[in-house]
């Protein structure tokens, strides 16, 4: 702690020499967990004495907090980093940094050293608390300061700048032990480690007491929460504990791995007062052969058993999923399995990805059995089918009353946009004062991606 204070004071004395108010800009890319980390980077920089700005042009520190999951997203970040060179030329005081799981990749760091010398800071995912000392090294003249570490948990006392007053993300666990053959996450975010339940409960309680209406519990695999903790606790038990906190709020969570989804999880959700009746349960593919090659450790039948279990108890229970199209071994027949699966499950929402080979993963060494044209065509067919399915299945809500959290106003239609307890987007006419509130709504219409309704 004394060391942290010393570093903070040293940075502040550097900032005192600036001819203007020092400003910092943090931009996050990728998954919700990355955005959540981004709020902590902002907190640290604000604590060091920076004003936060949305404009990179006026910043003295720019941090890109980037995701390593897909190559295409990484290339975009590299392109945007390149564009910062012009800003650096105008402001010699500017320090540019790359952080997040993309910074953990050896080849990314090698590229930065070779072609982007104005990027001075590289901070790996999980090395957030090292930002002050890394920044100080740069202010003291180091050409390239890096900190990589993903073994532990972020310090519980790290400050956070929350983007919203009524929605908050709360990580419950970090890392992943699953080693799906296509995925880089275990290599760049390390093994699973869970936060203490007391720390999570205190954070959630504090948020609810300060008026937060939606808590999003986050982790690469939330339902394996608890592995390695001294006092045994599983994810449903954590949910039950949080659900006891008094107040008017919703708990959502993601992602859940199908191999760890249990009837206990569904029962806990259905018996709760605050937990959404929606599960994001990424299936990735509807073929057992491909699931095996992906090392997902469940079959299509086992997956469907969990869906049936939930829908028997609540026919309106909502599911969403991630799907990868074009895994190297995927044939047309495997893909037809995916098409069949989405018809059987009737997801409300799908996050679809074309397979992206990641260096160091097992799948990156596999030969493609389909062409890129075939894969692109499969993606098109998948999206078309999903549109039909959700438009039809959303009709189950017509005429019903649902609860939604109003999140914002759609700038085009002027309608309020929110998300229901079942995880569906809903639009309805309403006042600005409704934003950030939990509202009861009658569903009067259905689109392929959303419901529409009237406030009750
Ligand atoms: N842990 C979660 C799970 O297993 O369901 C998902 C976390 S992962 C960061 C988010 C999604 O990215 C995955 O569900 C998968 O669909 C997608 N993804 C991961 N690696 C990918 C790759 N190499 N190419 C395309 N999509 C990928
Ligand atoms: Fe990646 Fe699989 Fe871990 Fe999800 S469970 S983060 S897809 S390795």
Q: Which atom of ligand 1 is nearest to the CA of 67?
A: 9
Q: Are residues 43 and 119 in the same domain?
A: yes
Q: What CATH number has the domain bearing residue 442? A: 2.40.50.140
DSSP 121-187: EEEETT-GGGHHHHHHHHHTT-S-EEE---SSPPPTT-----S-SSEEEEE-EE--S---TT--HHH
Nearest CA to ligand 1 atom 14: 322
Q: Which atom of ligand 1 is nearest to the CA of 178?
A: 4
Q: Are residues 295 and 390 in the same domain?
A: yes
Could you read off the pLDDT of 92-137 as tens digits, one per residue? 999 999 999 999 888 898 999 899 999 999 998 888 888 999 999 9
Q: What CATH number has the domain bearing residue 331? A: 3.30.750.200
Could you read off the pLDDT of 129-182 as tens digits, one per residue? 889 999 999 999 988 888 886 678 888 888 999 999 999 999 999 999 999 999
User: What pLDDT does residue 1 have?
Assistant: 63
Q: Which atom of ligand 1 is nearest to the CA of 356?
A: 24
Q: What CATH number has the domain bearing residue 194? A: 3.30.750.210
Q: Which ligand is nearest the CA of 326, by number?
A: 1
Q: Are residues 138 and 9 in the same domain?
A: yes
Q: Are residues 404 and 295 in the same domain?
A: no
User: What pLDDT does residue 150 have?
Assistant: 63
Pocket test for ligand 2, best of 178, 293, 351 (most atoms within 8 A of CB): 178
Q: Which ligand is nearest the CA of 366, by number?
A: 1
Pocket test for ligand 1, best of 185, 281, 282 (most atoms within 8 A of CB): 282
Q: Are residues 173 and 249 in the same domain?
A: yes
The share of the chain scoring above pLDDT 90, in percent, equals 81
Nearest CA to ligand 1 atom 9: 69
Residue 304 lies in a domain: yes
Give me ligand 1 centre to Cα 69, in Å. Answer: 7
Residue 360 lies in a domain: yes
Residue 450 lies in a domain: yes
- Calculate mean pLDDT across residues 374-403: 95
Q: Which atom of ligand 2 is nearest to the CA of 184?
A: 1
Q: Report the 3 state secondary structure along 213-247.
A: CEEEEECCCHHHCCCCCCCCCCHHHHHHHHHCCCC
Residue 407 lies in a domain: yes
Give me ligand 1 centre to Cα 277, in Å. Answer: 23
Nearest CA to ligand 1 atom 25: 355
Give me ligand 2 centre to Cα 107, in Å. Answer: 21
Q: Residue 385 belongs to what domain range? A: 286-396
Nearest CA to ligand 1 atom 13: 322
Task: For the chain, state the CA radius of gyration.
Answer: 23
Q: Give the total number of structural domains in the chain.
A: 4
Give me ligand 2 centre to Cα 221, in Å. Answer: 7
Could you read off the pLDDT of 419-443 as tens digits, one per residue? 999 899 999 999 999 999 999 999 9
For the record, the structure tokens of 110 come out as 């090698």
Pocket of ligand 1 (CB under 6 A): 31, 69-70, 182-183, 185, 220-221, 255, 257, 282, 284, 322, 324, 353, 355-356, 358
Q: Which atom of ligand 1 is nearest to the CA of 323?
A: 16
Residue of 303 and 69 predicted with greater confidence = 303
Instruction: Give 260's contacts (C-beta < 8 A, 6+ positions apart).
Output: 221, 223, 224, 235
Q: Does 4 score more than 90 pLDDT?
A: no
Q: Are residues 190 and 327 in the same domain?
A: no
pLDDT range class, residue 303, cuts 50, 70, 90: very high
Instruction: Give 106's contacts (C-beta < 8 A, 6+ positions apart).
Output: none
Q: Are residues 68 and 128 in the same domain?
A: yes
Pocket of ligand 2 (CB under 6 A): 176, 178-180, 183, 185-186, 220-221, 257
Give me ligand 1 centre to Cα 320, in Å. Answer: 14
Give me ligand 1 centre to Cα 1, in Å. Answer: 37
Q: What CATH number has the domain bearing residue 34? A: 3.40.50.280
Q: Which atom of ligand 1 is nearest to the CA of 282?
A: 5
Residue 262 lies in a domain: yes
Instruction: Return mean pLDDT, the chain.
Output: 94
Widest distance between CA atoms in the chain: 66
Residue 88 lies in a domain: yes
Residue 157 lies in a domain: no
**How many CA atoms lie within 13 Å of 321's alpha carbon, on the beta-carbon side?**
24
pLDDT range class, residue 449, cuts 50, 70, 90: confident
Nearest CA to ligand 1 atom 7: 220
Give me ligand 1 centre to Cα 197, in Å. Answer: 26
Domain boundary among 116, 147, 178: 147
pLDDT range class, residue 335, cuts 50, 70, 90: very high
Q: Are residues 12 and 142 in the same domain?
A: yes
Could you read off the pLDDT of 227-260 as tens digits, one per residue? 889 988 999 999 999 999 999 999 999 999 999 9
Q: Which atom of ligand 1 is nearest to the CA of 357?
A: 23
User: What pLDDT does residue 155 have?
Assistant: 86
Q: Report the 3 state secondary structure along 389-436.
A: HHHHHHHHHCCCEEEEEEEEECCCCCCEEEEECCCCEEEECCCHHHCC
Q: Which atom of ligand 2 is nearest to the CA of 176?
A: 3
User: What pLDDT does residue 5 have?
Assistant: 81
Q: Which atom of ligand 2 is nearest to the CA of 186?
A: 8
Domain boundary among 147, 180, 209: 147
Domain boundary among 377, 396, 415: 396
């Amino acid at each position: 702690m004394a060391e942290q204070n010393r570093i903070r004071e040293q940075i502040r004395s550097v900032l005192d020499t600036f001819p203007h108010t020092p400003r910092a800009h943090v931009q996050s890319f990728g998954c919700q967990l990355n955005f959540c980390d981004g709020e902590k980077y902002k907190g640290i920089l604000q604590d060091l004495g920076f004003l936060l700005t949305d404009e990179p042009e006026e910043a003295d520190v720019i941090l890109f907090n980037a995701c390593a999951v897909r190559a295409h997203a990484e290339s975009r970040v590299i392109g945007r980093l390149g564009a910062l060179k012009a800003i650096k030329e105008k402001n010699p005081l500017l320090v540019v940094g790359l952080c997040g799981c993309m910074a953990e990749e050896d080849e990314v760091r090698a590229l930065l050293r070779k072609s982007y010398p104005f990027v001075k800071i590289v901070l790996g995912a999980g090395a957030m608390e090292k930002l002050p000392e890394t920044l100080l090294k740069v202010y003291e003249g180091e050409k390239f300061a890096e900190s990589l570490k993903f073994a532990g948990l972020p310090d519980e006392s790290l400050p956070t700048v929350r983007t919203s007053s009524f929605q908050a993300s709360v990580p419950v666990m970090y890392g992943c032990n699953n080693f799906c053959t296509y995925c880089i996450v275990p290599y760049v975010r390390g093994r699973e480690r869970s936060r203490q339940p007391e720390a999570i409960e205190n954070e959630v309680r504090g948020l609810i007491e300060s008026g937060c209406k939606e808590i999003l519990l986050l982790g690469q695999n939330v339902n394996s929460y608890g592995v390695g903790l001294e006092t045994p606790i599983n994810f449903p038990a954590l949910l039950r504990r949080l659900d006891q906190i008094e107040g008017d709020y919703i708990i959502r969570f993601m992602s859940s791995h199908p191999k760890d989804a249990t009837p206990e999880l569904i029962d806990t959700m259905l018996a709760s007062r605050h937990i959404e009746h929606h599960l994001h349960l990424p299936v990735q593919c509807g073929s057992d052969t491909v699931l095996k090659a992906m090392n997902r450790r469940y079959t299509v039948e086992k997956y469907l058993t969990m869906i049936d279990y939930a829908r028997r108890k609540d026919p309106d229970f909502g599911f969403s999923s991630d799907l990868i199209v074009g895994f190297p071994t995927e044939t047309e027949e495997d893909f037809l399995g995916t098409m069949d699966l989405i018809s059987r499950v009737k997801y409300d929402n799908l996050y679809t990805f074309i397979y992206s080979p990641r260096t160091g993963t097992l799948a990156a060494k596999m030969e493609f059995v389909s062409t890129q044209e075939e894969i692109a065509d499969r993606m098109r067919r998948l999206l078309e089918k999903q549109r039909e399915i959700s438009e039809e299945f959303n009709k189950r809500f017509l005429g019903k009353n649902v609860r939604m959290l109003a999140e914002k106003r759609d700038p085009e239609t002027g309608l309020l946009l929110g998300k229901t307890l079942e995880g569906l987007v809903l639009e309805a006419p309403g006042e600005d004062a409704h934003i950030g509130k939990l509202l009861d709504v009658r569903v009067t219409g259905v689109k392929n991606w959303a419901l529409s309704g009237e406030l009750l």
